[in-house]
Chains A and B, each alone.
Chain A
Amino acid sequence: GDSVTQMEGPVTLSEEAFLTINCTYTATGYPSLFWYVQYPGEGLQLLLKATKADDKGSNKGFEATYRKETTSFHLEKGSVQVSDSAVYFCALSKTSYDKVIFGPGTSLSVIP
């Protein structure tokens, strides 16, 4: 069945470091791809999305490009801040009603 795999955490980075969180997916057809973020004590928020191959989603300095040839949607940010500390979930959706399939999440801690 459809699934999402992402790099295991936790990931610890110093402030202003470069961030990459790897995500690959397994799905038939052409799913939409998402990154959701869960800050401590808060609910899930959509960070960015891409709906077709080669699309780049971006928000708050984060970017991810939909790569169909490698079935990947890696999350990147050039310079992380302490406020980026959160759990990041890669996800896909392909049904007519947008049921979302999530990866296991990657915890990020950014230290000053």
Chain B
Amino acid sequence: DTGVSQDPRHKITKRGQNVTFRCDPISEHNRLYWYRQTLGQGPEFLTYFQNEAQLEKSRLLSDRFSAERPKGSFSTLEIQRTEQGDSAMYLCASSLGNPGQGARGQPQHFGDGTRLSIL
């Protein structure tokens, strides 16, 4: 079990630039989640994939944000035209679950996150 891997660990960029983060979930996990965590707060849900299908997006995910999971394995989260308010830790999590299993599926495993700093 190699765990959930996120790359890069840290990203510093100037306001207005585009950034892309990558998440590699645990290999057999079909569910993948993105969360955002700002300093002193708990993580907030951004979006969710079941295999390659993106099934929910939070209202926090503005049109500058896009997430993909093209082959149902790794996922990318892109932020276009970054703003100061985008500075946060971006967390990826994965789990194994089946449709109709309800909220009783396997627990989510989190990566260490990508810390984004906007200058």
Seen from chain A, the residues whose Cβ lies within 8 Å of a Cβ on chain B are 4, 31-32, 34, 36, 42-46, 49, 51, 89, 91, 93-105
A97 and B44 form a contact (CB under 8 A) = no
B48 and A46 form a contact (CB under 8 A) = no
Minimum Cβ distance to chain A for residue B2 (Å): 13
Minimum Cβ distance to chain A for residue B25 (Å): 13
Number of A-B contacts (CB under 8 A): 69
B42 and A89 form a contact (CB under 8 A) = yes
B107 and A46 form a contact (CB under 8 A) = yes
B100 and A98 form a contact (CB under 8 A) = no
Q: Which of B14-22, B62-70, B72-80, B108-116 makes up part of the contact surface? A: B108-116
Minimum Cβ distance to chain A for residue B36 (Å): 11
Seen from chain B, the residues whose Cβ lies within 8 Å of a Cβ on chain A are 4, 31, 33, 35, 40-45, 48, 50, 55-56, 91, 93, 95, 97, 99-105, 107-113
A104 and B40 form a contact (CB under 8 A) = yes
What chain B residues lie within 8 Å of A4 (beta carbons)?
42
**Interface residue from A49, A91, A101, A105 paired with B41 (Cβ < 8 Å):** A105
Given A95-B103, A97-B31, A98-B31, 17 new contacts (CB under 8 A): A34-B107, A43-B91, A43-B113, A91-B42, A94-B103, A96-B100, A96-B101, A96-B102, A97-B55, A98-B95, A98-B108, A99-B33, A100-B93, A101-B45, A102-B43, A104-B42, A105-B42
B99 and A96 form a contact (CB under 8 A) = yes
